Amino acid sequence: MINLSEILALAETEINDTYYQVTVDEESYSPPNNLKCIGVIAQFDDGELALNVLDLIIAYTLSDIEVILEIPAEIDDFDEKYLVSIAANADFSLSLWAPKNTDKEAKNKYFKRLKAFTQAYFQQSNLSKFIYPISSFLEYLAMECIDANSVKNYKPASPYIINTFDSPISKEFADELKAVIREEVYQIFNGEEAYCNFTKTLAHGIYKQAENNLQDLVTDTQPPISE
């Protein structure tokens, strides 16, 4: 973990392009030139995102910085739908940290959070960023529906997923949280078959659109026929 003030105090040439687990301890409206991605730890004030955190997120995303709001499992003073709505409108990602303590009570609380955010994810149609680890597992589910063989040796490629969720979490706990997300998704779609049908239809639509776009591009770039 690192404080934002520590990053801003560095010389321009000393600043990395990516920082995670950053505590916003001062206001910042202008990101360092070298910065490309930042993960900031969530802070809340009476259930709403703290103003200094929200101001930073807006300023940095407007400067084309990839922003992830990292939410420790131990913080619960917020509404899931509110956060997903803010993330969708301000164009940043959310990261739902797993609990440090994995006793039954802590795990059940975290699984309840995953279910609530999974519901909010599908209800927020304009969300273009990620909700980790939900979005990552949804990619896996989609691949599984389209071609089950493709996921037999599946391993996450994202360094953020590996460092935040894959490496620190036991395999048993990881399997449990995946099962929770899977069950919630199937419940939202009224079953596995309905979800897979939706996924295949969506994939087919994306493929056809890409095919049409390619055809339009070929047509537009063809030289005119001389008479």
pLDDT tens readout for residues 96-140: 999 988 899 999 999 999 999 999 999 999 999 999 999 999 999
- Predicted confidence at residue 223, as pLDDT, reads 55
CA 64 distance to own-chain centroid: 16
pLDDT tens per residue, range 60-103: 999 999 999 999 999 988 999 999 999 999 999 999 999 988 89
HSE-CB of 88 using CA atoms within 13 angstroms: 15
Question: Looking at per-residue confidence, does 61 or 201 come out higher?
Answer: 61
Position 218 pLDDT exceeds 70: no
Q: How far apart, in whole angstroms, are the C-alpha atoms of residue 172 and residue 154?
A: 17
- Predicted confidence at residue 208, as pLDDT, reads 53
203, part of any domain: yes
* Total tally of structural domains belonging to the chain: 1
Tokens for 41, please give them: 């730890």
Confidence of residue 202 (pLDDT cuts 50, 70, 90): confident
146, part of any domain: yes
| 100-113 exposure pattern, b = at least 16 Cβ within 10 A, e = fewer | eebeeeebeebbeb
Contact residues for 24 (Cβ-Cβ < 8 A; gap 6+): 4, 40, 41, 43, 50, 52, 53, 56
**Helices in the chain by DSSP H: which ranges?**
4-8, 51-62, 80-90, 104-123, 134-146, 159-161, 171-188, 192-221
Q: What is the pTM (predicted TM-score) of this model? A: 0.88
17, part of any domain: yes
Position 30 pLDDT exceeds 60: yes
Query: Are 103 and 73 contacting, i.e. CB atoms less than 8 angstroms apart?
Result: no
- Predicted confidence at residue 28, as pLDDT, reads 93
Average pLDDT on 179-201 reads 94
Residue 59 belongs to what domain range?
Answer: 2-221
Query: Are 199 and 141 contacting, i.e. CB atoms less than 8 angstroms apart?
Result: yes
125, part of any domain: yes
- Predicted confidence at residue 166, as pLDDT, reads 87
10, part of any domain: yes
Question: What are the phi and psi torsion angles at 44 (to 5°)?
Answer: -125, 150
226, part of any domain: no
Contact residues for 112 (Cβ-Cβ < 8 A; gap 6+): none
Question: What mean pLDDT value characterizes the chain?
Answer: 89
Tokens for 100, please give them: 């440090």
159, part of any domain: yes
